[in-house]
Chains A and B, each alone.
With several copies, the nearest count.
Chain A
Amino acid sequence: MKKFINNPEDVVEEMLEGMAAAHSDELRRLPGWNVLVRKDAPLPGKVGLVSGGGSGHEPAHAGYIGENMLDAAVAGEVFTSPAPDQIFEAIKAVDSGSGVLLIVKNFSGDVMNFDMAAEMAAAEGIETAQVVVKDDIAVERKEDRRGTAGTVLVHKIVGTALEEGLNLQEAVELAHHVTSRLGSMGISLSPSTVPASGKPGFTLADDEMELGTGIHGEPGMERKKIQPADAVAEELLDNVTAELDVKNGDDVIVLVNGQGSTPLMELYIVYRKAAQLLFERNISIHKSMVGEYMSSLEMAGCSLTLLKLDDTLKKYVT
């Protein structure tokens, strides 16, 4: 394990200190908590937007704090969901009295910890609602689907809408509307190593790739011989479009996400083929995002996310 760290147990604390120092014009840390908050939160009259999860997915989630996005992000240990008291602090810090929406990636730990935080908030009279993102279509059963890079689009769209004054109930409906039209699939070439364990999360042969991995390297649908980028792009795209029933005449947002050590060059090569295929199929790309939006430490791989737009959603795409 070759990493720029000090003590493996301190990585999250030190990262948060670094983030708070680097971006003090935009966010602040809640003293003693692993919570970063938009500097001007709570905004009077605005529903608060909170997300979070295990660390190691940077820039998620603290990188999405700001106007038209999150009011707070809660950071757990690396790949481990944050505890309820941390989340509760975030809720208190951003609640203006209009309630707080929690965006949660669908992992048992995250869901349970956010549930408990919501109960704590309720006990103190703060209204919250929770929307669970399940965009990873590699998992068959819909209720078991993991939350992955598509979560960023929920942050952005709901965040933009909240800035325009939606109330909590409307925000929940919008968030559900987004998640119902959102799908992602990942593909990995090599694992990442959690500092505390010091060992790679999985192993793949030199000529193998794994289709459908989650953002912590959870198993996918299939291991196979490594394919050219064009075939990879086509397989990801076909799976996601089939799942979302994206067809001729539709409008989409395309997000090609890097998992950590895959160069931007390769992400653009994957994007290129996806864009070509969409064009051929007369599906128009409303907006493109190519980069590391939801990383997995230094995992090599990428994922492709589509959001199928309609007029409601287009209003909030900036």
Chain B
Amino acid sequence: MELTLNVMKRWLVTADEKMQNHKEYLSELDQAIGDGDHGHNMARGFQAAVENVKENTEEDIGSLIKAAAMTLISKVGGASGPLYGTAFLKASDEWKGKDSLSQDEFTKGLEAAVEGIKTRGKAESGGKTMLDVWTPVLEYIQHHDIAASDLSAKAKESMQQTENMKAEKGRASYYGEESISHTDPGAYSSYLLFEALAEALDKEEA
């Protein structure tokens, strides 16, 4: 299957809807093992990114995602801003000039994104962060047909597994053992992001 410019736009728009709808919940998760701003950060950032998309006349996916990246970088703030921003920015580099992506091309972008998060955050998966959703989702996509797959179930399951992890990075790490039995907020917002992708693809199919 091909991921068109339209699918990518719908991805962002759907992600924004989800961030707005889960704003309070994400901040609540962050309140427990962080500082309670994650939902506000994500909602602020995606709203701005989507406003940008709507005005955007760029006709290639690279430019679209780069514009989103720059907006996320400048509007999210906190730890998640540079991380999501870097992820989108690295992916956009791979998608430069394309108006549609094969699964392979899409995966390349995702690989760059995960690499970007790891470098920016000086983190590995297993540390109870958004990486614990991005890494398994990437692996899944590397081995499954994205259109036919159950992407959002995979993302959800990975997100849920962060509950049992001990935080190693970011604010949650100050909670040490106490961070266990809480879901990581960044993992939750990443789950929402991939759920949005699955829905954007679904719509395309229909």
> A–B direct touch, CB within 8 Å, in complex?
yes
Q: List A residues 180-227 near B (Cβ within 8 Å).
A: 194, 196-197, 199, 201, 214, 216-219
Interface 0/1 of A77-89, CB less than 8 Å to B: 1111111111000
Query: In the complex, are the beta carbons of B74 and A112 less than 8 A apart?
Result: no
Q: Which of A115, A116, A197, A214 has the most CB of B within 10 A?
A: A197
Query: In the complex, are the beta carbons of A108 and B77 less than 8 A apart?
Result: no
Interface residues of B (CB under 8 A from A): 27, 31, 35-37, 40-41, 44, 73-83, 85-86, 120-121, 169-171, 173-175, 178
Query: In the complex, are the beta carbons of B121 and A113 less than 8 A apart?
Result: no
A109 CA to B41 CA in the complex, in Å?
12
Q: List A residues 63-104 near B (Cβ within 8 Å).
A: 76-86
A316 interface contact, C-beta 8 A: no
Query: In the complex, are the beta carbons of A113 and B81 less than 8 A apart?
Result: yes
Query: Residues of B contacting A199 with CB < 8 Å?
Result: 31, 36
A218 CA to B178 CA in the complex, in Å?
12
Query: In the complex, are the beta carbons of A82 and B77 less than 8 A apart?
Result: yes
Given that A112-B82, A218-B174, A219-B175 are known contacts, is A201 also in contact with B73, CB under 8 Å in the complex?
no
Query: In the complex, are the beta carbons of B74 and A77 less than 8 A apart?
Result: no
Q: Which of B78, B83, B175 has the most CB of A within 10 A?
A: B78
How many inter-chain residue pairs (CB < 8 Å) link A and B? 95
Given A108-B121, A113-B77, A116-B82, 19 further pairs, Cβ under 8 A? A77-B37, A77-B40, A77-B41, A77-B78, A80-B35, A80-B37, A80-B78, A83-B77, A107-B79, A109-B82, A109-B170, A112-B120, A115-B120, A139-B174, A144-B173, A196-B37, A201-B35, A216-B171, A219-B178
Query: In the complex, are the beta carbons of A201 and B31 less than 8 A apart?
Result: yes
Nearest residue (CB) in B for A114 is B82
A214 CA to B174 CA in the complex, in Å?
9
Q: Which of B75, B77, B81, B171 has the most CB of A within 10 A?
A: B77
Query: Residues of A contacting B83 with CB < 8 Å?
Result: 112
Nearest residue (CB) in A for B37 is A80
Query: In the complex, are the beta carbons of B77 and A197 less than 8 A apart?
Result: no
A95 CA to B180 CA in the complex, in Å?
45
Query: Residues of A contacting B44 with CB < 8 Å?
Result: 77
Nearest residue (CB) in A for B123 is A108
Query: In the complex, are the beta carbons of B77 and A77 less than 8 A apart?
Result: yes
Given that A85-B74, A86-B74 are known contacts, is A107 also in contact with B171, CB under 8 Å in the complex?
yes
Q: Which of A76, A78, A85, A219 has the most CB of B within 10 A?
A: A219
Query: In the complex, are the beta carbons of B171 and A218 less than 8 A apart?
Result: yes
Query: In the complex, are the beta carbons of B40 and A196 less than 8 A apart?
Result: yes
Q: Which of B36, B80, B121, B173 contacts A201 (CB 8 A)?
A: B36
Query: Residues of A contacting B73 with CB < 8 Å?
Result: 83-85, 116
A61 CA to B141 CA in the complex, in Å?
45
Query: Residues of A contacting B85 with CB < 8 Å?
Result: 116
User: Can you report 11 A-B residue pairs in the complex whose CB atoms are below 8 A from each other?
Assistant: A80-B35, A80-B40, A109-B80, A109-B82, A112-B79, A112-B81, A116-B82, A116-B86, A197-B27, A197-B36, A217-B35
A76 CA to B74 CA in the complex, in Å?
11
Q: Which of B37, B76, B174 contacts A83 (CB 8 A)?
A: B76
Query: Residues of B contacting A139 with CB < 8 Å?
Result: 174
A54 CA to B83 CA in the complex, in Å?
17
Given that A84-B82, A194-B37, A196-B37 are known contacts, is A109 also in contact with B77, CB under 8 Å in the complex?
yes
A77 CA to B37 CA in the complex, in Å?
10
Given that A113-B81, A197-B37 are known contacts, is A108 also in contact with B76, CB under 8 Å in the complex?
no
Nearest first, the 7 A-B pairs at minimum CB distance are: A109-B79, A112-B82, A109-B78, A108-B79, A80-B77, A85-B74, A80-B78
Q: Which of B27, B169, B171 has the most CB of A within 10 A?
A: B171
Nearest residue (CB) in A for B72 is A83
Query: In the complex, are the beta carbons of B77 and A115 less than 8 A apart?
Result: no
A82 CA to B81 CA in the complex, in Å?
9
Q: Which of A79, A115, A116 contacts B35 (CB 8 A)?
A: A79
Query: In the complex, are the beta carbons of B174 and A76 less than 8 A apart?
Result: no
Q: Which of A79, A84, A144 contacts B74 (CB 8 A)?
A: A84
Q: Which of B27, B31, B37, B171 contacts A108 (CB 8 A)?
A: B171
Q: Which of A80, A116, A214 contacts B41 (CB 8 A)?
A: A80
A219 CA to B31 CA in the complex, in Å?
12
Query: Residues of B contacting A194 with CB < 8 Å?
Result: 35-37
